[in-house]
Amino acid sequence: MINLLKRKTGSASREDLAGYARLYGFYPVHPADFVDPAHPVFFSMRMQCQELYHAISLGFMGNRAMSKTYWETRLPVIQSMYLSPLYGKELDELERPELLSYLPPFAEKNVLDLGSGIGRYTGEFAKSAKRVVSVDFAAQMVAENRRLNAALTNIEYIISDAMNLDFPQNSFDLIFTNFLFMYLEDNEVALLIDRISTWLKPNGFLFFRDSCAAVREENSNPSYFAIYRNLIEYPSFFKENWILQKEGNILAHEIVCADPFKCYWLYQNK
């Protein structure tokens, strides 16, 4: 069983993938359906097989290690960014312009894209920013980011855990985090926000978005760790040196998924 699951997390022929789909009840199951690794059937099958493999072979581990292992085995495609084989592209088309509309001007500014994934926002920033530092701890995501944004020459790419970063004071005008704090424990969120306040220039901005819940809960999947905080928890992490500028739920997720708990905040550093 372990060997079979290992194959599913690595490379396999289209015939193999069609066989796996039949085994796990995914349709359509013709080998031609697996030409595109982002195909919803292919992607959903791989996600579930990876999760099962982690649960069996990795056993119980710390939350940080669990998150790192999970994301290091995700495909570098848009569906991975939303954990959805069906709605990734549709969500991105609606969400990207919406989130960009909530940001302060960043033309000719220094921007940190923290937890950048495949670089959807890295590229948007680099089109007009002076400099963009793009950080993710999954090497395959950074590689895809480089590929997608190869024509832009003002991007620095870093493979690192957000908690291991260190930048000089007053380095950035805007720091953007995308589905990051939900993978950190409360003490880590507080520590990272304190660090971010030193990395930002005076009057600089922090924008972050996360998945939340009406009542705080932790994901119970044995291979995936996340904390879904309620809406009043995040403001409690910000000290008196921060000014809340904007907050709300992300309309794209309401429209596509009827999900009102994808939320954002924009804070300014005094």
User: pLDDT band for position 251 (50/70/90)?
Assistant: very high
Q: Verify that 99 and 124 share a domain, yes or no.
A: yes
Q: What is the pLDDT of residue 261?
A: 94
Same domain? For 53 and 125 the reply is no
Same domain as 92, residue 132: yes
From the list 228, 134, 144, the residue with the least C-alpha distance to 179 is: 228
Whether residue 107 sits in one domain with residue 202: yes
* 63-72 and 40-57 helices, crossing angle to 10°: 140
> Where does a domain end: 22, 52, 82?
82
Lowest mean pLDDT among 6-10, 234-238, 242-246: 6-10
pTM for this one? 0.78
Residues 76 and 100 both lie in one domain? no
Q: Which pair of structure tokens corresponds to residue 139?
A: 């090497």
Rg (the chain; Cα; Å):
19
Phi first, then psi: give them for residue 58, nearest 5 degrees. Answer: -100, -20
Q: For 63-120, what is each residue's pLDDT tens digit? A: 767 777 777 788 888 888 887 777 788 889 999 999 999 999 999 999 999 999 999 9
CA angle at 196 for the pair 149 and 109, rounded to the nearest 5°: 45
Tokens 């930002």 belong to residue = 200
pLDDT of residue 161: 92
> Is 9 a residue whose pLDDT tops 50?
no
Bridge partner residues of 176 (DSSP): 113, 207
Are 180 and 63 members of one domain?
A: no
* 31 and 161 belong to one structural domain: no
Note the pLDDT of residue 126: 98
Over residues 30-52, the mean pLDDT reads: 47
Is residue 109 helix, strand or coil?
coil
One domain for residues 56 and 103 = no
pLDDT in tens, 148-204: 999 999 999 999 999 999 999 999 999 999 999 999 999 999 999 999 999 999 999
- Segments forming the whole domain that contains residue 62: 2-82
Separation CA 182–CA 204 (nearest Å): 23
Do residue 256 and residue 210 come from a single domain? yes
